[in-house]
Chains A and B, each alone.
Chain A
Amino acid sequence: MIKNLKKQNIWFVFTPYLWLVLFFFVPLALIFKISISVSEWGMPPYRDLFSLSENGLEINSTLGNYLFIFSDPFYIRSYLNSLSLAFTSTVLCLLIGYPIAFYVAKSKTSIRNILLIMLIIPFWSSFLLRVYAWKVLLQGSGIINSILIHIGLISEPISMLHNHYAVILGVVYTYLPFMILPLYGYLVKFDLNLIDASNDLGAKPLNTFVKVILPLSLPGIVAGSMLVFIPVVGEYIIPEMLGGSDKLYFGKIIWDEFFVNRDWPIASALAMSGIVILVFPIIIFQLMYAKYNFRNE
């Protein structure tokens, strides 16, 4: 450890420090400021917090934007929809991803390396294009409808796009590699002899799984779930491409409020509430999990 900050180390610490203060912290402080401002016509479309007039210093701050958001079920529902989408798709990714990660990790080294490359390829390829692929597949004239008609399950093409099931499917598909790769990372380090030992001692396969394999892969489950849950909470692209008007999500509401309605204070208030409702729980969970790990070590 270098104890004292010598001159040659100063720029090492302060270049990124200043950068993050300037381009991460200040912008967040700014949307907080705009979120408690009064909106008005003009450019910028809100009134300054402090203004000097003949009555002296005036403070134009308001909690009205927040009150407006939380009195309108439309906005509250969009937060709940986003949370439930993130939760549902995380669970589905885990259920689908776990067996895949498990069997890939248990394969022979030569096959395992090829399978690993096959897991990384979708992970690297463009996110947007993988969502677009489902748009192509789910079209009325798309391949899935054609197959279903061909085998006689349906007679007319059914509309599979523009509903929240399509959104869940798209999210699970695009985020599945984010779940599988960390799971694989923990399962591959896992000593297979432990399974044999547990079997030899008379444990049933289910018992072995619940009492031996699952606890040892818990860090992978947590890491994978975080990698899915966090970005899905603010997801904009997938609901916009595959979703319809049956369920609206937080990301799209902010986008529309800013680009369509041009209401900066409301968009900022939505973003700030989003941080409190959607991001703080994640940070608290991570701190608790770190503490739990620390105690168990």
Chain B
Amino acid sequence: MNKLFLKIFTLTIGFSFLYFPILTLIAYSFNDNKRVMVWKGFSFRWYKELFQNEQILEAFYTSLKIASLSATFATFMGVMIGFSLTRISKIPARPFFIFLSSSPLVMPEIILGLSLLLFFISSNHIIGFPSSKGQLTVLISHITFSVAFVAVIIQSRLSSYDKNIEEAAQDLGTIPNMIFWKITAPVILPAILSGWLLAFTLSLDDLVVASFTTGPGANTLPIVVFSKVRLGLSPEVNALSAIIMLIVILAALSIYLINRSNIKK
């Protein structure tokens, strides 16, 4: 009985700590007062204003665009890295390749952002590309730090599954390209999907690297939100948080339900 009490107590405190701030934010998003923390009455006022705020809407669209493009490119290259490192033995300067594909994981984003910005400025100086900072430079930067994360996921999946299937196919005379598309790719599909999803969230959530590499017309959502809440509070941002939480909860629930029905089958 004592043990059960300890368990329920720990889990209640733990989950309250995780959810209390988020739920407070959602509750106050319905507050009809410009001063965020003084309750005046229930209203949808800030949601209406949020949907009329073109700066936020445009930033949201930019973020979605960059995140989906970045996730797609990063997944392609992450799969290439994972496949190369686990299946191809002869890679020139292999340790250097391993270093390149894993060190973005431990590099502080502030250093990554600074180095990319200085690189873009110099390369613009020397070869005239990129012609200006903007969505393209943010996209390149996001791909660069996401690739390493996808590669780790793919690598761990590829090194844990039975390679004999590929070797059998090879013995039967299947060409390597076919082996990849017909055997390897379907097996690692779940890893590819979770890699894409991770890269997508990383890009959507990134503020620091995007702040360094952005330019005119490429304000992502975190950049706009940060500029609004850096010095004070903003009731519109409360409404935005509530909407994002709703999306995340719906996504999590649908994954839970899909998993459960898969297990039942």
Contacts and interface: CB of A to CB of B under 8 A. Distances in A.
Given A99-B14, A231-B108, A241 B230 contact: yes
Interface of B: 7, 10-11, 14-15, 17-22, 24-25, 28, 35-38, 77-78, 80-81, 83-84, 87-91, 97, 100-101, 103-111, 114-116, 118-119, 121-122, 125, 140-141, 143-144, 147, 151, 175-177, 201, 204-205, 207-208, 222, 225-226, 229-230, 233, 237-238, 240-241, 244-245, 248-249, 251-253, 255-256, 259-260
B7 A271 contact: no
A240 B230 CA distance: 8
B69 to A, nearest CB: 14
A254 B24 CA distance: 33
B119 A136 contact: no
A230 B106 contact: yes
A129 B241 contact: yes
Contacts of B103: 24, 283
Given A16-B77, A241-B229, A271-B111, A23 B244 contact: no
10 nearest interchain CB pairs? A234-B108, A27-B115, A133-B21, A27-B119, A100-B14, A20-B100, A16-B77, A129-B241, A23-B144, A271-B111
A118 interface: yes
A201 interface: no
Interface in A106-139: 106, 113-115, 117-122, 124-130, 132-137, 139
7 contacts: A2-B88, A27-B116, A99-B10, A100-B10, A125-B245, A271-B110, A271-B115
B110 A254 contact: yes
Contacts, number: 233
Contacts of B7: 103, 106
A126 B122 CA distance: 33
Given A103-B10, A135-B233, A13 B84 contact: yes
B108 A233 contact: yes
Interface stretch (A55-63, A70-78, A186-194, A273-281): A273-281
Contact of A279 (B106, B121, B237): B106
A114 B253 CA distance: 9
Interface of A: 1-6, 8-9, 12-13, 15-17, 19-21, 23-28, 30-31, 34, 44, 96, 99-100, 103-104, 106, 113-115, 117-122, 124-130, 132-137, 139, 141-143, 173, 176-177, 230-231, 233-234, 236-237, 240-241, 250-251, 254-255, 258, 264, 267-268, 271, 274-275, 278-279, 282-283, 286
A183 to B, nearest CB: 12
B147 A136 contact: no
A31 B115 contact: yes
A177 B17 CA distance: 11
A16 B100 CA distance: 10
Contacts of A113: 256, 259-260
B84 A20 contact: no
A130 B57 CA distance: 20
Given A2-B89, A5-B88, A30 B118 contact: yes
Nearest to B78: A16
A24 B89 contact: no
Given A173-B21, A234-B110, 19 more contacts: A2-B89, A2-B176, A8-B175, A15-B80, A21-B100, A27-B119, A30-B119, A99-B14, A118-B19, A121-B249, A127-B205, A130-B22, A133-B22, A134-B21, A136-B25, A141-B38, A254-B110, A268-B118, A279-B107
